[in-house]
Structure 1
Amino acid sequence: MIRVLIVDDSALMRRHLTSLLSQERGFETATARNGVEALDMIERESFDVVTLDVNMPEMDGLTCLSRIMAHKPMPVVMVSSITAEGAEATFEALALGAVDFVRKPSGTISLTISQIEETLIAKVKAAAKAKLRRSVNLRQRLTEQRRRAQEAPPPIPRSLGPFGMVLIGVSTGGPTTLEHILPYLPRNLPWPVVVAQHMPGNFTGVFARRLNGACELEVIEVCQQTPVEAGRIYIARGDGDLVFTRRGGKLLAMPMPAGADYLWHPSVARMVESALSQLPAQQLIGVLLTGMGNDGAEAMAKLRERGGHTIAQDEETSVVFGMPADLIARKGAEVVLSDEDVAEQLCIWLRVHGAFKQGGRNAG
């Protein structure tokens, strides 16, 4: 039985979430009306997961979360509105240590709660098993990575094609994990990076803007047919998928409606399959990171079998070791690395020597 504390100032929302997370579904629940009540209950009782509203009186969700993580860390799933402000607050929560988030129903709650039912149950179950990681100062991580690069110059890899792509798939725990990777990629990285992060459409644009302020490479959300060029990181738009096509001999990334044959969106599997239809596997690098389920594992194993490079995130640093574990089980992972070692490995394979960021924008 998973014990869940539901924190929300709406009595109706508390009632609906309590009904949704019923004992018949394997949950035992308690409720709190705001952050003050929640902290008091957490001090007195034991919970496996907390679902936490962002906007509440007396003490908001972000303040409550920061105190939970400082004094009694535990898995927290944020319940966030789909507005731009809600998205910003959600990413702040993930940076503070929240495991994941779900969209808060809008309009008539009793009609829309069913829209998040399956997602909420899956994410709360995953959160109960998730690993919590304390953030390490970005500047300290960069300094350590540069020191290691100087101590062990990267070997010359086998030859790569003249142009290719780095394909990254990630789900639960992804935003924080990507912040451990993408800011380390140098602006002279010869291949573009394309990311499929399971996320709602209202959130990916905000996420791309946040990453753009921390990365040497330009970060953009793919909202229309977009040329794929070096010097950029492309974020697949949420709630749909990303595929590749050609026009006038030029490779383009384009958004597509969510494919019915794929369970998660943006689909990692569909992105990798599409890339394989446009480029030889030798000109692709697949990176499969933290997330529940197995999205992308089969496609990346195929990429590896055909001669491409692949990386799976290790269990120790994965918030949820589902997607990378499946790639490893399929013997499709060329190397298994912590998230903080991924950028360095990409630079080794792409022959970028001594190019790690010297602090970058907004570092520290």
Structure 2
Amino acid sequence: MLRVLVVDDSALMRKYIREMLEEEGDIEVFTARDGQDALDQIPKVDPDVITLDINMPVMDGLTCLSHIMTEFPRPVIMVSSLTEKGALATFEALELGAVDYIPKPGGTISLSIKDIRPELIAKIRAVARSRTRWSKLRIHRAKPEKITIKKARPKITRDIPGLVLIGCSTGGPGALEEILTQLPPDFPLPVLVAQHMPARFTNVFAKRLNQSCQLEVREVNRPLPLQVGEILIAQGDADVEVRRKLGRKVAVNLPMDKQLLWHPSVDRMVRSALKCLDPKDIIAVQLTGMGYDGAEAMTELHRLGGRTIAESEETAVVFGMPRELIERGGADVVLPVHKIADRLIKWTM
């Protein structure tokens, strides 16, 4: 049986989430009403996965999470509201060690909480499979120091020498921070990222990355030129494509393609780049995440002469997306996340 501890101060939320999980038949559910209650229960029930609310009395979710990571390290999925305040707290949780998050639809007390059932169950099963490896090999990422970073002005040119594309999902924010903060201010290619994430989260995520990266980081909330010196984060709840406009390469945010399962779609992003650039000028990176988004398009890129990197199992929170690329024969190299930035620099500088 898979053991899950649900931590939420709302009795109604605990009831609904418990019912959703127990319907699976192979999930044993325990509940806690606040962070302190959770810490008291963890040694007794030894859950494989914990779902954790943020706003709770007695002990809030972030304080509880810091104790879990220190005393009882295991996969924690944050369940938070979709407000901007909730998004900020969620990213603090990811920095503290949470592996993923699921937005509560409709606010803190969500009467439509059952809408997240498929996503919640899929993520719980995915991170539970990685518990043993994750506990032993978890990368402790320190919260970036509040320092002033002098950034080079993006080089505005009529064309770009190439493009780095990065796709990721579950566990992606931490992996992206690990890579993007290592890129120097004179990195010679623009970077475009498709991270599966809601729209309210991508805006906050881009702003947080901009504080710690040496390159400028912006969300693609309108057509933006691809230019050296910038990292662009695809807007959540939408897709992103590379287009040609007036002789320049531009990242364009578009309505979600309903035929695709994940958004922003990595496959759609990579395929659009192949229409605008020589494959040999594209580098694609497949990071942690569930499913196979990006694997087919990156394999095609690899076949056409582009270069591809898959994150290795040793650091991937969920090995699904990188494994799909590797098994299709589409990865030039397989690297742990902390070595990917060095490879990008080696290939381009």
TM-score of the two chains, using structure 2 as the length reference: 0.91
Q: Is the 8 A contact 2:95 2:141 kept in 1?
A: no
Paired amino acid for 2:177: E
Which residues in structure 2 correspond to 1:168-207 (within 5 Å)?
Answer: 168-207=166-205
Distance, in Å, in 2 between the alignment partners of 1:24 and 1:172 is: 21
SS at structure 2 position matched to 1:4:
strand
Give the direction of change, closer, same or farther, for the CA distance of 1:166–1:29 in structure 2 (3 Å limit).
Answer: same
Paired amino acid for 1:58: V
Q: CA deviation at 1:280?
A: 1.3
* Structure 1 counterpart of 2:274: 276
Paired amino acid for 2:277: L
* Structure 2 counterpart of 1:8: 8
Q: CA deviation at 1:277?
A: 1.1
Paired amino acid for 2:65: L
Q: Is the 8 A contact 1:16 1:110 kept in 2?
A: no
Q: C-alpha deviations, 1:227-286, integer Å up to 9, x for none? A: 110100000001111012121111111111111121111110110011111111111000
* Structure 2 counterpart of 1:123: 123
Give the direction of change, closer, same or farther, for the CA distance of 1:291–1:188 in structure 2 (3 Å limit).
Answer: same
Distance, in Å, in 2 between the alignment partners of 1:137 and 1:21 is: 33
Give the direction of change, closer, same or farther, for the CA distance of 1:137–1:202 in structure 2 (3 Å limit).
Answer: closer
Distance, in Å, in 2 between the alignment partners of 1:117 and 1:207 is: 25
* Structure 1 counterpart of 2:152: none
Which residues in structure 2 correspond to 1:1-364 (within 5 Å)?
Answer: 1-106=1-106, 111-130=111-130, 131-132=134-135, 133-137=138-142, 163-350=161-348, 352=349
Q: CA deviation at 1:114?
A: 3.1
Paired amino acid for 2:15: R
- Greater shift, 13-22 or 101-110, is seen at 101-110
Q: Is the 8 A contact 2:206 2:233 kept in 1?
A: yes
Q: CA deviation at 1:164?
A: 1.1
Distance, in Å, in 1 between the alignment partners of 2:305 and 2:80 is: 42
The structure showing larger relative contact order (alpha-carbon pairs under 8 Å, at least 6 residues apart) is: 1
Q: CA deviation at 1:105?
A: 2.6
Distance, in Å, in 2 between the alignment partners of 1:290 and 1:26 is: 26
Identity %: 55
Paired amino acid for 1:308: G
SS at structure 2 position matched to 1:181:
helix
Runs of 4 or more, structure 1, over 4 Å off, are 107-111, 136-139
* Structure 2 counterpart of 1:356: none
Distance, in Å, in 2 between the alignment partners of 1:107 and 1:206 is: 18
Distance, in Å, in 1 between the alignment partners of 2:13 and 2:28 is: 16
Q: CA deviation at 1:43?
A: 2.1
Q: CA deviation at 1:107?
A: 5.8
Q: C-alpha deviations, 1:133-189, integer Å up to 9, x for none? A: 1414589xxxxxxxxxxxxxxxxxxxxx96110000011111111111001111111
Distance, in Å, in 2 between the alignment partners of 1:270 and 1:309 is: 18
Q: Is the 8 A contact 1:192 1:232 kept in 2?
A: yes
Distance, in Å, in 1 between the alignment partners of 2:121 and 2:24 is: 12
Q: CA deviation at 1:46?
A: 1.3
Paired amino acid for 2:346: I
Structure 2: runs of 5+ lacking an equivalent: 145-158
Distance, in Å, in 2 between the alignment partners of 1:33 and 1:108 is: 14
Q: Is the 8 A contact 1:241 1:256 kept in 2?
A: yes
Q: CA deviation at 1:190?
A: 1.3
Q: CA deviation at 1:104?
A: 1.2
Distance, in Å, in 1 between the alignment partners of 2:113 and 2:302 is: 41
Give the direction of change, closer, same or farther, for the CA distance of 1:31–1:227 in structure 2 (3 Å limit).
Answer: same
Matched residue count: 331
TM-score of the two chains, using structure 1 as the length reference: 0.88
Q: CA deviation at 1:24?
A: 3.3
* Structure 2 counterpart of 1:144: none
